[in-house]
Amino acid sequence: MNKFSKTLPLLTAGLLTGSLLLSGCSTKSPEQASAPSAEQQDTTQAASLQINDPWAKAADKGMSAAFGTLRNTGQQPVELVKVTEEQHRSPVQLHEMTGSGTEMTMKEHQGPVEIKPGAEVELVPGGMHFMYMDLAKPLVASETSTLTLHFADGSSKAVDFPIRNYSGAKERYEDHAGMEDKHGNGEHGGH
Amino acid sequence: MAEQQPTVPSRRLVLGGSAAAALSGALVGFGAGRLDAPASAAAEPAQDPSDPADLSPYGAYQRGILEEPQTHGIFLGLDIQWPKAKDERRDRLRSLLRMLGEDAARLMSGDGVLADSEPEMASARGRLSITVGLSRDAAAQAKSTADLSMLEPLPEFSGDKLEPRFGQADLLVQFCGDDPTALAHALRAVRKNLTGLATVRFEQHGFTTPPGQAEHPHAFRNLFGQLDGIANPRTTAREGAVFGHGDEQSWLPGGTVLVLRRIRMDLERWDEVDRPGRDFALGRRQSDGSPLSGQHPDDPVDLSATTELGLPVIAGNAHVALAKPVQAAETMWRRGFSYTDGGESGLLFACFQRDARTAFVPVQRRLAASDAMNQWITHTGSGIYGILPGMSQEAQLGAALFAE
């Protein structure tokens, strides 16, 4: 089913156990971008990635967040490098939480997210999530937002995230002063 | 009977012919008389009323319609906050129904909805059903070929004292289940998801006898103490009355029409009535539901029976005399729930039928004009809803309204 055995460069060196593995790279390296493209492979990273229960938090403007469970159903690691959204015209970042209890803050995750074969990354309120940085159009409950997930092998996958009302996910936002200006109080948007 | 298979194999397979199947009767409380001949045990539905098997969210019909009533029922009526731009309303209705269908499917499968902070509460389903319908005006936003004339507002009936707070809503969500906690969670989850999309007009809670505890498998004691429901159609007669046949479908094939009436019952004045007067007004005995023209609950209501003095045994204005269908098209399937609310008692009368214009409306006209029970009841709420066809994993709730 998967003959894709050595197409990825060894970006995983230094990666640790656990479902969520972060590479040390802060940006996409040239090898990463080009590595598997010309090689024969029958399963792209996009095809290996399954997303369960995706949803996005309704918001009129400003910031919001999207959640779900990313599962690697393939035989090789999957590296998510970028997320884009066109319909509501917002930049999207991958965020993670730091701290604990009520003192938790979020910050942009640096580098790709690697998911080992068979492993899952859970994007949940209070944990890692996709972050809409500046919505030009509201995320209306009951509608969907299509996020495109881009992977290290150049493949991508468009996923519909149903939009739902949610009054949680109000984590404070760390060290992105520019974003606080847009949002006023440093919390995620949404109503 | 259409496939209404529960996701969990029915215990009936183990139990064999149920006690319920062995019994058949013909009691009536509010509503119509029974038209089908007493069914044989073999023809009884595969659903044992005492079997708490959970319900699959998928099928030709929505759940919460043909099944014997669960112990608790909640009717949530909402008015949709339409987008200002008229050309966005059709899409809004479609996405709203898609979300409701997804919520219903998840909750009926024992999962929390998306963005659910308490999904654990969904795991005990208790035969949860979530059933969705639309008013004529809301359905019209879909600009479909559905027969909206079947959803025209009900006429005014004499004696109605309707209150707008219990009146017609755009969107009706019926929640039924045996577990009040699972039901409360489902209600909350759906209400939360509809925030900003619709405002609640009413939330009416009712109850009936738990499965396995009823005196009769097809009847419950209403708050007057009457056995109500045995004259209801069963099996194929029920399915036909609710969804129609062949060329005679409801407003949408696989859909049906729900009439919801809130009927206040004056228990204090009913207390003043002695047993013979009560039985005379209903036309049946409070003791066991047997008609005054017979001895057993399943004896037919015989309006021609006379006393030794030549008087009718069942008065012409007795409830059963007027409620009895005079033709097949008047048959409806009543699936009501009693309520108590701040010292008030009554019945959340809910009936499903192919076309209310030939079923509920003519029957209610007769009852409103002269039912002997009228002096103890008042209709305070009313609405008519087009219940959508069932959904599948491929076809969202309401898909037929949006077929291109």
Residue A10, token pair as written in the block: 């060894």
User: From the first residue on, what is the mean pLDDT of each consecutive set of 10 residues in chain B (404 residues)?
Assistant: 40 34 35 40 42 85 96 98 96 98 97 93 93 98 96 98 98 97 97 97 97 86 94 95 96 98 98 97 96 92 94 96 96 98 97 98 98 98 98 96 88
| Spatial contact of B291 and B314, defined as CB atoms under 8 Å apart | yes
A124 to chain B: closest CA residue: B115
Q: Could you tell me what percentage of chain B is helix, strand and coil, using 3-state DSSP and rounding each to the nearest 5?
A: 30, 20, 50
Rounded-to-integer distance, Cα A56 and Cα B115, Å: 8
Average pLDDT, chain A: 75
pLDDT of amino acid B85: 96
Question: For residue range A33-55, what is the model confidence (pLDDT) as tens digits?
Answer: 444 444 445 689 999 999 999 99
Question: For residue range B50-99, what is the model confidence (pLDDT) as tens digits?
Answer: 445 899 999 999 999 999 999 999 999 999 999 999 999 999 999 999 99
Note the CATH number of domain A21-26+44-183. Answer: 2.60.40.1890
pLDDT of amino acid B124: 85
Is the Cβ pair A142, B98 closer than 8 Å? yes
Contacts of B119 (CB under 8 A, 6+ apart): B111, B112, B113
Q: Which of A164, A167, A188, A191 to mutate to test the interface with B (most CBs of B within 10 A)?
A: A164
| Pairing, β A156-164 against β A49-57 | parallel
Is the Cβ pair A165, B115 closer than 8 Å? yes
Residues in chain A closer than 8 A to B99 (CB atoms) = 141-142, 162, 164
Residues in chain B closer than 8 A to A164 (CB atoms) = 99, 113-115, 193
Rounded-to-integer distance, Cα B36 and Cα B215, Å: 21
- Does any CB of chain A come closer than 8 Å to the CB of residue B188? no
- Report CA-CA distances (Å) from B105 to A61, B6, B193: 30, 13, 14
B195 → closest Cβ in A57, A143, A165: A165
Catalytic residue of the set B228, B298, B355, B371: B228
Residues in chain A closer than 8 A to B98 (CB atoms) = 142
- Report CA-CA distances (Å) from B63 to A15, A180, B103, B108, B175: 50, 48, 14, 10, 10
Domain residue ranges of chain A, discontinuous segments joined by +: 21-26+44-183
Rounded-to-integer distance, Cα B47 and Cα B4, Å: 9
Hey, is B353 helix, strand or coil? strand
Residues in chain A closer than 8 A to B95 (CB atoms) = 140, 142-144
| Spatial contact of B339 and B346, defined as CB atoms under 8 Å apart | yes
Q: Which of B91, B97, B114 to mutate to test the interface with A (most CBs of A within 10 A)?
A: B114
B197 → closest Cβ in A53, A142, A166: A142
Residue B364 φ then ψ, to 5°? -70, -30
This prediction's pTM = 0.82
* Residue B9 DSSP symbol: P
pLDDT of amino acid A186: 37
Is the Cβ pair A165, B196 closer than 8 Å? yes
Is the Cβ pair B115, A144 closer than 8 Å? no
Residues in chain A closer than 8 A to B102 (CB atoms) = 162
Rounded-to-integer distance, Cα B125 and Cα B250, Å: 30
Q: Is the ipTM of this complex over 0.95?
A: no
- Tokens 């009526």 locate to B77
**Does B111 participate in catalysis according to the annotation?**
no
The stretches of B146-293 forming alpha helices (DSSP H) are 180-194, 235-243, 267-271, 275-282
Rounded-to-integer distance, Cα A171 and Cα B29, Å: 56
Measured from the Cβ of residue B129, the count of other Cβ atoms closer than 10 Å reads: 25
Q: What dihedral do alpha carbons B88, B90, B94, B99 form, nearest 10°?
A: 50
**Distance of residue A134 Cα from the nearest chain B Cα, in angstroms:** 21
Is the Cβ pair A162, B102 closer than 8 Å? yes
Rounded-to-integer distance, Cα B176 and Cα B71, Å: 7
- Does any CB of chain A come closer than 8 Å to the CB of residue B95? yes
**Distance of residue A55 Cα from the nearest chain B Cα, in angstroms:** 7
